Amino acid sequence: MSAATVLEAHIPGSKSITNRALLLAAAAPGRSRLRAPLVSDDTLAFRAALTDLGTGVRDVGDNGYGYGDGSGYGDGSGEVWEVTGRGTGPVGPGRVWCADAGTAARFLPPFAATGRGEIAFDGSDQLRARPLRPLLEALTGLGAKVSGTGLPFTLTANGLAGGRIELDSGLSSQYLSGLLMAAPLMGGPLTVDVPRLVSRPYVDMTLALMRHFGARVEERGGAITVHPGGYAPADLQIEPDASTASYFFAAAAVTGRTVRVQGLGTGGLQGDTAFVDVLRLAGAEVTRTDDWTEVTGTGPLRGGFTVDMGDISDTFMTMAAIVPLADAPVTITGIAHARLKESDRIAAVAGNLRALGIRVEEGPDRITVHPGVPAPATIDCHRDHRIAMSFSVLALRAAGITLDDPSCVAKTFPGFHGELSRLFG
């Protein structure tokens, strides 16, 4: 096949947009439509949690088309979810199971706090280990009763009046996104002072989607003010997931092929589209239009640079895993918060690269990976979808790499292995 052949990757919907849209639609009075939502463990858990809290969600699309890989999932492109929201916070008693989804644990408690009654929250052992204290303390500061500082806990709600509060979002931006999305349901305006913030593009996404659902929000200096008045139902076309697309763009970069993702153009809501700029630094050719993004591998990967990936940390592993194929080391900085995700991602990447015989140095917020020839090894996925997907890209160019837990990709892309082998198999 010639290098000019364009491989069109079918990338399912953004997890972050899908779960925000589910919440905003649940908070709006009446029917909203979400087009091409992600269908995966994280979004199905979020949807089930909202259903358990009294939100109506039905499938009204054609359910997409299957991957033909036996995963049982479509890519969601033909899927439409109709959400019937109550226009208020939920009424307890209730139980919420967040599974492995950070977005569920961080977005649903503030929403619940605007309602009434007792709601018990819990999640998997992996999610229980992730920090929640700054968010729960902020909710307590605003008047909710919370039985602990992390999962599991019970929240006793009696509505929230609004006010002014400081929220340290230096461990996760999801705390701030969750609080902001609940704010239009409060009795008065809410102003949040944000002394530290990681993953800023996700907060921009939150504000853009809140406005799409009719909220009034202002930013001044380090503070954000949300006005009361609730939300209006809306129709939303969900973009393909930019973090998921990173694996397919990286695959193009290391195989000398061209991958295009339709629907992921300039002007989208996802910060992770900036991953292609890192591939460009490494020598790949990148073209972006309003409607699509395309990456072409141009020969051996170029290393010899340092890049801050703090804003796009879900994609640092995509890059780190392919650096062994580069001509010089690459240092990735600004990623301390990546240690607090599904796994300690800096340690997980470093451990797996060392198991492949690759030289790595790590610091609290950084990693340096050196070029080398990967030896055969089994990757310890740590039940982290992104470890599995990142090392699957390296495996396209290195023999003998297997995953101990390939199915953990279902958190965000159940059809991942089928799509990778459809394009590169």
Ligand X SMILES: C=C(OP(=O)(O)O)C(=O)O
Residues that bind ligand X (CB under 6 A): 101-103, 314, 341, 386, 412
Q: Does 273 help bind ligand S3P (rule: CB under 6 A)? A: no
Q: Does 309 help bind ligand S3P (rule: CB under 6 A)? A: no
Query: Across the beta sheet with 360-363, what order do the strands follow?
Result: 305-308, 330-333, 366-369, 360-363
Could you give the 3-state DSSP secondary structure of residue 80? strand
Residue number of the CB closest to ligand X reads 102
Task: Name the binder of 390 from ligand X, ligand S3P, none, CB < 5-8 A by kind.
Answer: none
Minimum distance, C-beta of residue 304 to ligand X, in the bound complex (Å) = 28
Q: Does 40 help bind ligand S3P (rule: CB under 6 A)? A: no
Q: Does 244 help bind ligand S3P (rule: CB under 6 A)? A: no
Q: What element of type H or E holds 45?
A: helix 41-52
Nearest to 377 by CA among 400, 396, 360: 400
Question: Binder to ligand S3P among 47, 337, 411, 417 (CB under 6 A)?
Answer: 337
What's the CA gap between 177 and 186, in Å, rounded? 15
Could you give the 3-state DSSP secondary structure of residue 117? strand
Task: Name the binder of 32 from ligand S3P, ligand X, none, CB < 5-8 A by kind.
Answer: none
Task: Name the binder of 386 from ligand X, ligand S3P, none, CB < 5-8 A by kind.
Answer: ligand X
Pairing of strands 190-193, 223-226: antiparallel
Question: Binder to ligand S3P among 40, 55, 177, 258 (CB under 6 A)?
Answer: 177
Catalytic residue among 41, 100, 272, 314: 314
- Choose between 77 and 199: whose C-beta lies nearer to ligand X: 199
> What are the CA-CA distances from residue 29 to residues 26, 44, 82, 418 (Å)?
8, 22, 13, 39
- Choose between 314 and 384: whose C-beta lies nearer to ligand S3P: 314
Helices 174-182 & 133-142, crossing angle to 10 degrees? 30
Could you give the 3-state DSSP secondary structure of residue 53? coil
Minimum distance, C-beta of residue 103 to ligand X, in the bound complex (Å) = 4
Q: Does 293 help bind ligand S3P (rule: CB under 6 A)? A: no
Q: What element of type H or E holds 388?
A: helix 385-394
Q: What are phi and psi of 120, to 5 degrees?
A: -95, 130
Contact indicator for 115, 92 with CB cutoff of 8 Å: yes
Nearest to 343 by CA among 325, 316, 361, 310: 316
Residue with tokens 């023999």: 399
Q: Does 18 help bind ligand S3P (rule: CB under 6 A)? A: no
What's the CA gap between 380 and 370, in Å, rounded? 20
Task: Name the binder of 101 from ligand X, ligand S3P, none, CB < 5-8 A by kind.
Answer: ligand X
Q: Does 202 help bind ligand S3P (rule: CB under 6 A)? A: yes
Task: Name the binder of 337 from ligand X, ligand S3P, none, CB < 5-8 A by kind.
Answer: ligand S3P
What's the CA gap between 381 and 358, in Å, rounded? 17
Task: Name the binder of 231 from ligand X, ligand S3P, none, CB < 5-8 A by kind.
Answer: none
Q: Which residues pair with 378 in a beta bridge?
A: 402
- Choose between 257 and 345: whose C-beta lies nearer to ligand S3P: 345
- Choose between 124 and 191: whose C-beta lies nearer to ligand X: 124
Candidate segments 143-151, 167-175, 253-261, 293-301, binder of ligand S3P by CB under 6 A: 167-175
Minimum distance, C-beta of residue 220 to ligand X, in the bound complex (Å) = 28
- Choose between 387 and 423: whose C-beta lies nearer to ligand S3P: 387
Helices 174-182 & 15-27, crossing angle to 10 degrees? 20
| Token pair belonging to 350 | 């470093």
314 is catalytic: yes
Q: Does 108 help bind ligand S3P (rule: CB under 6 A)? A: no
Residue with tokens 């806990």: 153
- Choose between 198 and 301: whose C-beta lies nearer to ligand X: 198
Residues of the shown chain interacting with ligand S3P in the complex, contacts defined by CB under 6 A: 16, 103, 172-174, 177, 198-199, 202, 313-314, 337
Question: Could you give the residue numbers annotated as active site?
Answer: 314
